[in-house]
Amino acid sequence: MKHLLAIEQLSRAEIDAILDRAESFAEVSRRDIKKVPTLRGRTVVSLFYEASTRTSSSFELAAKRLSADLVSIKAAGSSVDKGESLKDTVATLSAYDPAAIVIRHPHAGAAQLVAEWSDAVVINAGDGKHEHPSQALLDLFTLRRQLGALDGKRIWIVGDVLHSRVARSNLIAFQAMGAQVTLCGPPALIPRGIEELGCEVSHSLDGLGEADVVYALRLQKERMKESFVPSIREYAANFQIDSRRLGARQLLMHPGPVNRGVELSGEVIDSPHSLISEQVASGLVVRMAILYELLAVGGAHPAPAEGDPGERPTPMGQPA
Amino acid sequence: MRPGEGANLVLRGATVLDPAAGIEGTHDVVIRAGEIAELAPPGAGDTDGLEVVEAEGLHAFPAFFDPHVHLRVPGREDEEDVETGTRAAAAGGYCGILAMANTEPSVSTAADIEALREEAREQASVPVGFLATVTREMEGEELTEMADIRAAGAVGFSDDGLPIRSARVMRRALQYQRLCGGTIALHEEDPELSGDGVMHEGPVSAALGLAGIPSVSESTMIARDAALARYEDGRIHVQHLSAEESVAAVRTAKAAGAQISCEATPHHLCLTDEQVRALDASRFKMNPPLRTESDRQALLEGLRDGTIDCIATDHAPHAEEEKTVPFEQAAMGVTGLETAFAALHTDLVLGGVIDLGLLVERLAGGAEPFGLERPTLAPGSEANVALCDLSAKWTVGEEGYESRSSNSWCAGRELNGRVLVTLAGGQVAYRLRSFSLGVAQ
């Protein structure tokens, strides 16, 4: 595994390796000193062309916990604002010889292009409506801790699938781990032909009772202006997950940020069903694991250069 | 086209194929003063004073005619101009092309047409016909001075690149056409249905998270305009058919007696939306988009049964920086003049999908829909000939391009079949360098 561009490109064994690694980082996170020296002297660039709270902060903290030097670039206020092309920006950043570039971009395939243009390991932190692989991995990690293996489990992804990169990555990831997935939402928000990816499609919550896990997606309020749904009220009446619709044994997830009272009712967000805060906590350790697997284990950048302090990556499970 | 001397040469022992004229056999193709003088038995042609081209084992076809080319003049000469675009056409075996009017600024007045025709007289290596826009600035609201533009020599009209959104404006254009003639060529797409789509809507767009352009965006507009053309007795040509429903709509309109013709591109005949998975915008992003295998099969059926009159490249050169960006941001369009014959020969003829005669017939079929003469090898006609080596293999782009742009959908592919010599408008327009060296020996 040279880059993390799409869940689609990962085997089940590669996914398991990242989740196992995240487990050992979860152990580190409980220590007083949470930092390990693995990436000392190496540079991680965080390049965000879209607003993000969870993803950018957890990737940046993950890089720091691994002792990397971090360069953080947000589109607003940078030369991107001045019309510089992605290709030219990548060429400029390459001068820092980064070990990894973490990129979030509003268009599909951007991370793949950066991987073609740069020698760095590239991590896709969300490309348009295409994929968001680190989100899928942290969701798998969260579920594995709750349920163990996902084989045979039923997972419903509910809401605006059309505009959601999380829906696409999670659909592929859940299926890769043996779960059966149903996509549920109003017809205009379910992409035509998506059932060819092997999932079920439903336009009603009637069958929701079969689900072991309910994964709700954010519905942006602008969608009603484009006639995807007639009104937020009608959307909520048909597709909101509330305590009435959620059974006792069902787990609830959401990638955040939540529109309270739209896709989720207030009471389920804070209920024992909800794994939403576990997801956020998983984000950090899973992103540490991604950086570790790609930079320290993947061997993309083998030995530290001459003159480098030369700290070998500390194997996990040994004192850092 | 640049003024020049009529060709004097003989293609000795060529395998001649011109299905539309009923010509098939091995002949000496004798060309004097830019005219096909005779098709003589092999070795019997009168070669007095003629250059002899040994053409045994090579194929002579009527040269091709492309009714859909973007020369990017005026305004984007960094992408293409009359000289490079017609050189690319000649290298592809074309003896004539029609240039679209969606330039920057657009070709919307008689003066624009006159200036372009003058430019072509200075720079073009094959004859170029120019179209003007149907509506001013392609805004879809007011008609251009169509009669004046026709008098200045425009072949026809098109807002290609954009549909004519308003049915009222479309109807007015068809009414005005009675006054001035000139086929109206139509880019059929309902912008309401296409929205911000960047590829065909279906399982592949669903998997990639890309906004889709549904097939019905094209076919519903074809149905509308065919109905209007029948009502006003107008003459329309539908550009770049891409969808199964569109082939059905044209077939129905033809059966009902509408004056309608249509074209399909080599890339729609050879590729499907599966190609888009690689997100290579340079080769696979265009409008209309690549569609499914069943759409492709429907296009092939339309080509066979005559619903599709001709093959047009929609040659759309783009600067590299417009293509080396994420797929959604990239410009739409691919180049095609230099590779059309070779790609279709490789994928469709050698693939056993259509026969060589049909390919040759449809590649030369783009003139008649615009009231122009079909290129032919019949003795007495102007020499418009493509001499091809069907066994030659070459890799697209390896030796660069005649076009100024390199966004070829065939880039890097090995193709079977190569144009060696093109005669256009009676003149030698192109010789493959390695082949002409061979002749000199």
CB contact under 8 Å between B203 and A197, yes or no, is yes
Q: Which of B204, B209, B324 sits opposite A128 (nearest CB)?
A: B209
User: For an interface test with A, which of B196, B199, B210 has the most A Cβ atoms less than 10 Å from its Cβ?
Assistant: B210
Q: What is the pLDDT of residue A81?
A: 67
Question: Tens digits of per-residue pLDDT, A111-120?
Answer: 999 999 999 9
Best of A90, A170, A192, A197 to substitute, by most chain B Cβ atoms within 10 angstroms, is: A192
Give me the percent of chain A exceeding a pLDDT of 90.
82
CA distance A122 to B76: 35
B32 and B8 in contact (C-beta within 8 Å)? yes
Coil, helix or strand for B430?
A: strand
**Crossing angle of helices B244-255 and B216-232, rounded to 10°:** 10
User: Which residue type is seen at B350?
Assistant: L
Q: What is the pLDDT of residues A225-241, one digit of tens each?
A: 788 999 999 999 999 99
pLDDT tens column, B245-271: 999 999 999 999 999 999 999 999 999
Query: Inter-chain contact A113–B326, Cβ cutoff 8 Å?
Result: yes
Predicted confidence at residue B439, as pLDDT, reads 46
Q: How many residues does chain B have?
A: 441
Position A310 pLDDT exceeds 60 = no
Radius of gyration of chain A (CA): 20
Give the best residue of B204, B208, B274, B321 to mutate against chain A (max A CB count within 10 A): B208
Q: Is A193 close to B202, i.e. CB distance below 8 A? A: yes
Residue B1 lies in a domain: no
Residue B52 has pLDDT above 50, yes or no: yes
Contacting residues of B for A107, CB less than 8 Å apart: 326-329
Distance, in Å, from the CA atom of B12 to the CA atom of B27, rounded to the nearest integer, reads 7
| CATH value at residue B280 | 3.20.20.140
> CA of A106 to nearest chain B CA: how many angstroms apart?
9
Are the C-beta atoms of residues A176 and A15 closer than 8 Å to each other?
yes
Q: Quick check: B210 and A193 CB within 8 A?
A: no
Report the alpha-carbon distance of residue B65 to residue B155 in Å, rounded.
14
B73-77, long-range: CB < 8 A, 24+ apart: B73/B99, B73/B103, B73/B116, B73/B119, B74/B103, B74/B104, B74/B105, B74/B107, B74/B112, B74/B115, B74/B116, B75/B103, B75/B104, B75/B105, B76/B103, B76/B104, B76/B319
- Residues B305 and B423 reside in one and the same domain: no
Asked if pLDDT for residue A147 goes beyond 60, the answer is yes
Q: Say whether both B250 and B330 belong to one domain.
A: yes
Q: What is the DSSP letter of B81?
A: -
Q: Is the pLDDT of residue B436 over 70?
A: no
Contact B326 A87 (CB under 8 A): no
Which of A108, A109, A196 shows the shortest C-beta gap to B203? A196
**d(Cα A150, Cα B164) in Å, to the nearest integer?**
53
Q: Within a domain: residue B33? A: yes
Q: At A155, is the secondary structure helix, strand, or coil? A: strand
Measured in angstroms, the CA of A84 and the nearest CA of chain B are apart by: 11
Q: Which residues pair with B180 in a beta bridge?
A: none
Domain-embedded: residue B102: yes
Q: Render pLDDT for A40-72 as a digit per residue (tens, 0 to 9).
A: 999 999 999 998 889 999 999 999 999 999 999
State chain A's mean pLDDT as an integer. 91
Q: Tell me the one-letter amino acid at B375.
A: P
Sign of the CA dihedral B47, B53, B54, B56?
Answer: negative
- State the pLDDT confidence band at B45, using cuts at 50, 70 and 90: confident
Q: Which residues of A touch B321 (CB under 8 A)?
A: 85
Question: Average of pLDDT values for A266-294?
Answer: 96
In a domain, B306, yes or no: yes
Give the count of domains, chain B.
2
- For residue A28, what pLDDT is reported? 85
pLDDT on residue A222: 77
d(CA A310, CA B93): 62
Can A7-132+279-297 and A133-276 be said to share one CATH topology?
yes
pLDDT tens digits, residue range B276-292? 999 999 999 999 999 99
Contact call for B279 and A108, based on CB within 8 A: yes
Alpha carbons B177 and B98: distance in angstroms, whole number: 19
Residue A15 has a pLDDT of 97
Residue A2: helix, strand or coil by DSSP? coil
The per-residue pLDDT for A50 is 92
Mean of pLDDT values over B195-214: 98
Q: Nearest Cβ partner of B328 from A108, A131, A191?
A: A108
Give SS3 for B61: strand
Same domain, B172 and B288: yes
Read off the pLDDT band of B435 (50, 70, 90).
confident
Q: Contacts of residue B279 in chain A, CB cutoff 8 Å?
A: 108-109, 112
Are A154 and A211 within 8 A, CB to CB? yes
In a domain? residue B2:
no
B267, B406: one domain: no
Say if residue B406 is in the same domain as residue B267.
no
H helices present in chain A, as ranges: 12-29, 54-65, 86-94, 110-117, 133-147, 165-176, 232-239, 266-269, 276-292
Question: Which residue's entry shows tokens 């005559």?
Answer: B306
Q: How confident is the model at residue A316 (pLDDT cuts 50, 70, 90)?
A: very low
Q: From A291, A206, A309, select the one nearest A21 (Cα to Cα).
A: A291
Residues B324 and B366 in one domain: yes
What is the 3 state secondary structure string of B254-313? HHCCCEEEEEECHHHHHCCHHHHHHCCHHHHCCCCCCCCHHHHHHHHHHHHHCCCCEECC
Query: Does the beta carbon of A124 lie under 8 angstroms from any beta carbon of chain B?
Result: no
Residues β-bridged to residue A49: none
Q: Which of B277, B438, B245 is nearest to A6 (CA)?
A: B277
User: Structural domain boundaries of chain A?
Assistant: 7-132+279-297, 133-276
What's the rounded Cα separation, in Å, for the pair B408 and B415? 13
Taking chain B, what is the end-to-end CA distance rounded to the nearest angstrom? 30
Mean pLDDT, chain B, whole residue set: 97
Cα B232–B237–B240 angle (5° rounding)?
145
Smallest CA–CA separation between A272 and chain B, in Å? Answer: 33
Q: Which of B202, B206, B326 is closest, CB to CB, to A108?
A: B326
CATH of residue B37's domain is: 2.30.40.10
Give B 200-259 residues with CB within 8 A of chain A. 201-210, 212, 214
Question: How is residue B336 annotated by DSSP?
Answer: -
Chain B CB contacts of A173 below 8 Å: none
Calculate the alpha carbon distances from A213 to A150, A186, A267 in Å.
10, 20, 17
Q: Does A31 have pLDDT greater than 90? A: no
Q: Which of A127, A190, A225 to mutate to test the interface with B (most CBs of B within 10 A)?
A: A127
- Whether residue B200 is found in the same domain as residue B56: no
d(CA A156, CA A195): 14
In this structure, is the dihedral angle defined by the CA atoms of residues B2, B3, B4 and B6, taken in order, positive or negative? positive
CA distance A139 to A141: 5
Q: Tell me: domain A133-276, CATH 3.40.50.300, correct?
A: no
Predicted local distance difference test score (pLDDT) of residue A32: 87
Q: How far is A186 from chain B (nearest CA, A)?
A: 15
Looking at the structure, tell me whether residues B431 and B313 fall in a common domain: no
pLDDT of residue B24: 98
| Alpha carbon distances (Å) from B262 to A27, A198, B189, B296, B339 | 67, 38, 14, 15, 21
Closest chain A residue to B326, measured at CA:
A110
B310: its two tokens: 């001709």
Inter-chain residue contact A191 with B205, CB threshold 8 Å: yes
Give the up-direction half-sphere exposure of residue A292: CA atoms within 13 A in the CB hemisphere. Answer: 29
The mean per-residue pLDDT over the stretch A115-142 comes to 97
At position B284, the amino acid (one-letter code) is F
Measured in whole angstroms, the distance separating CA A9 from the mean position of its chain's CA atoms is: 15
Please give the residue of chain B at the shortest CA–CA distance from A192: B202
> Alpha-carbon distance B356 to B351, whole Å?
11
Radius of gyration, CA atoms only, chain B = 21
Chain A nearest CA to B325, separation (Å): 7
Which tokens is B155 given?
A: 């072949």
Last residue of a domain, one of B344, B370, B396: B370
Active site residues of B: 314
Q: At residue B122, what is the residue type?
A: E
For residue B427, what pLDDT is reported? Answer: 98
| Closest alpha carbon within chain A to B200 | A192
Q: Decide if A105 touches B, using CB distance below 8 A.
A: yes
Which amino acid is located at A296 in the chain?
A
pLDDT of residue A317: 44
Domain boundary among B308, B342, B370: B370
How close, in Å, is residue A311 to chain B by CA atoms?
38
The 10s digit of each residue's pLDDT in B82-131 is 999 999 999 999 999 999 999 999 999 999 999 999 999 999 999 999 99
Same domain (yes/no): B361, B391: no
- DSSP-derived 3-state class of residue B130: strand
Calpha distance B59→B26 (Å, rounded): 9
CA-to-CA dists, residue B356 to A214, B344, B423, angstroms: 57, 9, 20
Tokens of B345: 């020969």
Helices (H) and strands (E) in chain B, counts: 15, 18
Give CA separation, B3 vs B9, B120, B121, in Å. Answer: 18, 10, 7
B294 touches chain A (CB under 8 A): no
- Where in the sequence is the domain holding B414, given as residue range(s)? 9-60+380-440
Kindly report the pTM of this predicted structure.
0.94
Of B370, B394, B427, which residue constitutes the final position of a domain?
A: B370
The CATH classification number of A7-132+279-297 equals 3.40.50.1370
> Is B375 a member of any domain?
no
